[in-house]
Amino acid sequence: MRRFRQRHRSNTPSFGITRSIGIDLNPFRIGGIHQVPRYHRQTKGKSPVPGIPHVLLVAAIACATSGASAGANATPVAIPFEQDKDHRIYVRGSVNRSESLRFLVDTGADGLAISRAIVPKASVVIDDRTENTGSDGVTTMDYSTCNDVEIGGLHTRMGAVVVDYRNRPFDAVLGWKFFEGKVVEIDYDRQQLLVHRSLPDVTGYTRVNVRWIDNTPAIEVTLGNGDAIFKPWLALDTGSNGSIDLSHAYSSRHGLMEVFTQKVGTSRFTGSAGNVIRAVDVRVPSASIQGLAIGNAAASFPIDDDASTGDGTLGAGVLRQFNMLLDMKTGEVYLRRNQYIGVDPAGK
């Protein structure tokens, strides 16, 4: 049996907007998908790709995931994307040469998850099981070990978790391993993903502090209120339509309830075992990434223990303010301000 760990959450603010983070595993909880055991691991300035445990070696050889390929052309591959009101990134592609499918691009996940509804038409073969460890329970799910995934003319072979999606605006969720060995440019101004074979000109970009934690990128974010300054490492998660979501462990350890007191709302989310966890949404007077200011910054932190081990998550509400270069060779991340800087995430 394979294992992956669910690491994110879905929030439902009191005013009725659903915040979804990562991959949807049931109608209430969403989490990043990880198709191999994710031991707590931090790397700095190294390749983001972890070692593969021996128990998964046979499957890894049978369906190797070495990143998307499209011949030897040095010109970057341009993939148009669209954004819904949730500000997340959606692209068109196929699984096993299927009809056109809608993918959610999720940098907070490393693997692939597909909706059970597309299994027949995408010729997906369910030949294994995988264990999902959530913050409040463990569930077992179907798994398909080898699938041909195509996005914008790029192809790679990937295993996939099969998920019973309901009322979600996508057919599949695409983690960063599809782009392994490439450099992904996310251009919100032109609404394009540009996939490069090597790092392009970084003039105008700022290289940010990054750590790869549990096989996903986390960047250092500075939050402040007067003399009180905090620097959490937040998972860079385009699969989240939240903004700054801090974990219960981090917010409790630093007493953030007493520091950020300008409350703007409340939230709640339900874990995979059905436990309801409450959260508070607050305004953050000062927020930045390596000197790049975050406009209209707001943060959320749980009142109840969410069992998270990391500091939190940086979602699309913030990330869309910056064009990005994600180097999937070195693990480095570069940011540049764009036209959405300072735009209220609840607005345009």
Q: What is the CATH number of the domain that holds 269?
A: 2.40.70.10
SS3 label, residue 189: coil
The structural domain count of the chain equals 1
SS3 label, residue 116: helix
Q: How far apart are CA 92 and CA 315, in angstroms?
A: 21
Domain containing 289: what range? 1-348
Tens digits of pLDDT across the chain (348 residues):
433 333 333 333 322 223 333 343 432 223 344 333 222 334 454 545 544 333 333 444 457 655 776 655 579 999 999 998 889 999 999 999 999 999 999 999 889 999 999 999 999 999 999 876 554 456 788 999 999 999 999 999 999 999 888 888 999 999 999 999 999 999 999 999 999 999 999 999 999 999 999 889 999 999 999 999 999 999 999 998 889 999 999 999 999 999 999 999 988 765 544 567 788 999 999 999 999 999 999 999 888 887 777 899 999 999 999 999 999 999 999 999 998 765 655 555
Q: 131: burial class by Cβ within 10 Å (0-12, 13-18, 19+)?
A: middle
